[in-house]
A and B are shown apart, each in its own frame.
Chain A
């Protein structure tokens, strides 16, 4: 490498690259330099002074010159020929003196106990030190970086300094977190994680000098400090100050890497498993390309369902109207005996968005091959138009770019997506970009969290989103912001788009959307003038008939400005569920075969028939949206329950009841399972092997962390293979998921180069200090023949599994982080689409004439709220019901009046606030995320995180309850 340089640490020559700090170079080379405030995921901070070193460097004449004092190696840039002393007496003397002071303020019984070296993990010994100080009274006992550092330094624990216990009450009233600031060493990792990594600033330093600590501004509860309960602060805390409340005291016996089952970001998690085989903690992997050490409230605190007592353990058959337990044999035989009569259009199969790629593949193969039906889909695919329009414009039904590229985007447009709650970690690069130089434009009628970070929040009348996008496109062209050469070279059908836009005037758009022409023009400028611009979109609350056209318009916006095929640009569709992408890839949709080849295409069918050695049905199938309305459907095989949106709809449940045969494989007795004829216990993510494909097309490995612990729960793949065997259908006798993937690679050109062995190979060891080497030479450390103590900092040593981003045609093809690089579109040129720009058809319900746009944010500055502190903290505040002044006048409501918003499902009372920014016809409220966190923590449901209430716009009426009180 051009800028490779050599430095010497304690006599060991190591190679590193310019720009690194000495500490990083040491860590990379496996040399242990102690540190407390440094964390591999964050910028150096230079506070703890544990990593100080002595250093010499070459001066201009080439002679060695000693650097004054003891620089902190975390902020000392490497220079060629630098000589660094870490394990030297004077360096250690300085480290020890700082450590001595730390020990004087941190309970230290766990450090000074004479039994420390012979103390086993389960020893309970309460007699050796005072109560506050005992090792067993610290939840981080045995995984404490501080203790490791004390032992590494071989501290003489007879200190002349006075020890002072801080006597701070514990903070245990907030959801999910326990905070004990008596143990805090003020390294600031948590504050920096919150600010630097998450962009939240929910916690901060408090006070100063010897009393400096961590807390929230003004000492509020986390509920109102802007905390998103992502757990990032817990993950970086080196001591026991911050911990997850559940399983707080439990010790991990092993740690297994797998994927989070909650959303399409595809976070790699390290699940800690205790001696009883229970998952006790989830720690996001630092060296993971998709989440880079981050997780969210769902991934961090929402995996309890794995061990929920409500897990189904035994298959059940409906006998005499009752579900009664049966053996697998009985259940499978029964289903296999009934299935043949439903071959063809009477059969339907729905997988779950948390089914693996292999399961999706097997499921669609089963439906098509064994049951001769194209009625196969995944239950979360209720808005297929989310990606079909994208495929028509560009070629692939998937995000064009990688997730963390968003950090480099010059402009980010977030369209109708509640990213913070639904794809939380995706919001991290967006917020970070917005905090640096990127312009963030949010189009959403609701006040979602990202509107707080937006440079421009366009708040259209619900139903007018497509018109607004039309206005944006029109303004782009009117201001000459399109990239003409690029368009001529790479795109077709520009004239059709121009024609479609010609009927539109910005004034008309402004009138219909309640967004001013200036704001539209400004959004167009922010978008069009950025060096690179990306679109993150969902179709939350978009009227069904407009969804496809909205996506078309968004693709047009990207194409007009040449924002496809380069870093920091592109489009990111946000599907619900963890593996919707994989379901599409594997052909678990009615109109596509594996690898996106249309069912209607005879040639595509033929090539697959050749691989499968069986004929395929050509009749078009029905997907998740239409399946239950389809009169022909008599039998449904349902894996993992229905989508949350449908699950409790009376219409859907009635349709389920009408079925001749309903087989539900699920982990819990869901509403669908309650209506099933056969219920099969389903394995959860932690019990399965397979792959997920995340929203950036990254295929990653899901590893079995637990044996199928919950009785006899089985994976979808196993069930399908068993049924196929009983039906006498060939082609389902794979030895393992790996074998399924091998077949997929054959059947799907985009997965052509994927195999489990390659996924394993696409990884590298990230060395974070070799513990044995570090401790062998540690001064003053007696190991007593029981082996060296393990420094917890090896936690940061791990294997980085990069996964592979499709398309990956052959075993030699590289991963594809960006699609359509240099305008390489599969169809030759990209197509600009020309939708009819229009508003949604009005659905007027005289009982509910208004539209209620619920919002939810982490923090609302300037809004009075109080937290009732108790065993569980609760937010108490006056809700604001925001109305357009004109609307309010019609309703006879004045500022400050007590009003109630009523929908068919909700009632919410609050104080009227008149705000011209709220469009007429809309009533808007904004809740605090803290309240949601309280509700989730308190929920008794088996999997509350999966059922996080979204923010659905609903028809509503506003009733006045009282007049403004004059204080």
Chain B
């Protein structure tokens, strides 16, 4: 018999107290994909080694991504009852130093520290003064880098599952739906469709079996926030899906992850298992009459598997190729049952929306784009990482304040936003506000939140070729315009990059692209010409130089470059 929720909370609090203000220091190491890639495993080993040598006892936890990917491996040390002190770009040698001075000696090492968090006389400036942190409003990422993503108690201790408890005990399903509706929350997967509306379609169906899918396929180059959330705080996603299930009367939930994303998969599976263990999933959740099952499903590595109907095919064990619509998923989706699908980020907001009310959420953001944007900053910027900023700030603020501008004093040339199908924005568009509708009007999309910056060294034609090479490789091969159109587009772009293109190639690309747009079955083909058309829109002269003068202004296009389709085989 699982404990009641207050009992769960009490137990979680006890454990949290023990960690943060107990007998020994707590060392957290960023070990999401960014941390691992930067060498967190070696740092953890060095920390343990060093602790042993110094004969001190401390709890070492691998946590998720705090957002400062550029500073990984990120280590923070919290002495019992004290503030968290962050150290960036930690090497195994530094780890020893940190243990010696801070953990064993009780003295933070200001020379090494990035900043601190929490009260206490540490003599180190607040981490929130860092450019990447200064503008942040953390909702979905509230626990990222703070809690151990393998321990549900830490989530509960920091307020987790109180939203579900509130929903099940104090609100009807319709109330929960209404709060989501009031919040103005829009889908973060790319289409920015109002989540409340989407849920209402599903809630309206009386079918006994209904599915809620949570999409973490996330194949966009330059997007890592879905994976980042699942690696850092999978519990908020599980709780969000459960709330969605409650609000819509669904019976089953699926978290869908690309096979091979080992970290998110492991974290999501753990979170689901732990929720079952505590009676937060399964039959009669928290003693209520609401029952909900959840599992983690996979696909092989395929970008199009992130398309909602292709994803359903994949869960059904078929080749992930999109279906035609109608019927729409809300009528006949997974296993021909009514189905709703949301992105990981969307789901991650839900617990806070329910806990704090839709009005509160609607108060953040800009116009009809409420809440925050979870951005993945990469490319030619000073600081790369995952930040959560309120919608409505300008791209300029994002690039020059949050991301610290362009390194080596070079000029920004363009931004690639919203994944490969999103399109590029010229540097003159920096005054645009982060707003779903404004960005779309400008020919780009916020999409999944990926923003890749390119400086003046980048050749737009070559960049476009690289993007189309990706799109071409990732076409599922079902509908004819996309299957063949992408290949022909790539062929033309490769020709132009070899400086062998001719003036007729622009018309040819336009012809192929526009027909792809008009004739394709799913978004992959329909949006597949965006990268080319937006590049032509902002950088027409650069294409002309390649085609008419057979020269590349940046000098990058001297010889043929390899495209993924060739190098991967």
Contact = CB atoms under 8 A, between A and B. Distances in A.
Q: Do A and B bind each other?
A: yes
Interface of A: 44-49, 52, 69-70, 72, 75, 77, 93-94, 97-98, 101-102, 104-105, 160-162, 186, 188, 204-205, 207-212
Interface in B116-156: none
B479 interface: yes
A101 B488 contact: yes
B349 interface: no
Contact of A205 (B319, B519, B520): B319
Nearest to A213: B477
Contacts of B475: 208-210, 212
**Contact size class for B?**
20 to 34
B303 to A, nearest CB: 10
Given A49-B479, A160-B504, 16 more contacts: A47-B480, A49-B521, A77-B326, A97-B512, A97-B519, A101-B481, A162-B491, A186-B483, A205-B321, A205-B477, A208-B474, A208-B475, A208-B476, A209-B477, A209-B486, A212-B475
Interface string B501-530: 000100010011001001111000000000
B478 A47 contact: yes
Contacts of A204: 319
Contacts of A45: 324
B494 to A, nearest CB: 11
19 contacts: A46-B479, A47-B478, A77-B326, A97-B515, A98-B480, A98-B481, A101-B512, A160-B508, A186-B480, A188-B478, A207-B477, A209-B473, A209-B474, A209-B477, A210-B487, A211-B477, A212-B475, A212-B477, A212-B478
Given A98-B515, A160-B508, A209 B480 contact: no
Among all A-B residue pairs, the 4 with the closest Cβ atoms: A212-B477, A210-B487, A46-B324, A101-B484
Interface string B283-326: 00000000000000000001000000000000000010100111
B492 to A, nearest CB: 9
Contacts of A70: 518-519
B516 to A, nearest CB: 9
Contacts of B486: 209-210
A192 B354 CA distance: 45
Nearest to B327: A77
Contacts of A47: 478-480, 521
Contacts of A52: 519
A77 B520 CA distance: 18
A93 B518 CA distance: 11
A208 to B, nearest CB: 4
A825 B324 CA distance: 48
B484 A75 contact: no
B565 interface: yes
Given A160-B504, A160-B508, A44 B485 contact: no
B477 A49 contact: no
B339 interface: no
A687 to B, nearest CB: 45
Contacts of A210: 472, 475, 477, 483-484, 486-487
Interface string B551-569: 0000000000000010000
A101 B324 contact: no
Interface SS of chain A: loop
Contacts of A77: 326
B326 A209 contact: no
Contacts of A49: 479-481, 519-521
Interface string B248-278: 0000000000000000000000000000000
Contact of A101 (B473, B474, B485, B520): B485
A748 B511 CA distance: 70
A47 B319 CA distance: 14
A482 B464 CA distance: 70
Interface SS of chain B: helix
B521 A46 contact: yes
A211 B504 CA distance: 26
Contacts of B476: 208-209, 212
A101 B504 contact: no
A105 B480 CA distance: 12
A161 B488 CA distance: 7
Contact of A69 (B302, B508, B512, B518): B518
Interface string B373-386: 00000000000000
Interface in B444-491: 472-481, 483-488, 491
A245 B488 CA distance: 34
Nearest to B504: A160
B32 to A, nearest CB: 29
B480 A48 contact: yes
Contact of A208 (B302, B324, B480, B485): B302
A196 B261 CA distance: 32
Contacts of B302: 208
Nearest to A77: B326
A104 B565 contact: no
Contacts of B483: 186, 209-210, 212
Contacts of A105: 484
A45 B326 CA distance: 12
A69 B487 CA distance: 22
A52 B520 CA distance: 10
Contacts of B325: 75
A688 to B, nearest CB: 46
Contacts of A93: 515
A44 B512 CA distance: 25
A188 B322 CA distance: 14
A25 B26 CA distance: 70
A160 B480 CA distance: 18
Contacts of B508: 160-161
A203 B398 CA distance: 50
A105 B476 CA distance: 17
Nearest to B491: A162
Contacts of B479: 46-49
A510 to B, nearest CB: 34
A209 B565 contact: yes
Contacts of A212: 475-478, 483
Contacts of A97: 481, 511-512, 515, 519
Contacts of B487: 209-210
Contacts of B521: 46-47, 49, 72
A161 B475 CA distance: 19
Contacts of B512: 97, 101
B440 to A, nearest CB: 16
Contact of A75 (B319, B321, B324, B485): B324
Contacts of B481: 49, 97-98, 101
B326 to A, nearest CB: 7
Contacts of B515: 93-94, 97-98
A208 B322 CA distance: 13
Q: Which of B302, B508, B519 has the most CB of A within 10 A?
A: B519
Given A205-B477, A208-B302, A94 B519 contact: yes
B308 to A, nearest CB: 16
B519 to A, nearest CB: 5
Contacts of B520: 49
B538 to A, nearest CB: 25
Nearest to A191: B319
Contact of A104 (B324, B473, B484, B504): B484
A208 B479 CA distance: 11
Interface in B155-188: none
A186 B491 CA distance: 20
Nearest to A52: B519
Contacts of B491: 162
B306 to A, nearest CB: 14
Contacts of B478: 47, 188, 212
Contacts of A101: 480-481, 484-485, 488, 512
A17 B319 CA distance: 33
Nearest to A211: B477
Nearest to B304: A208
A52 B483 CA distance: 17
A97 B514 CA distance: 10
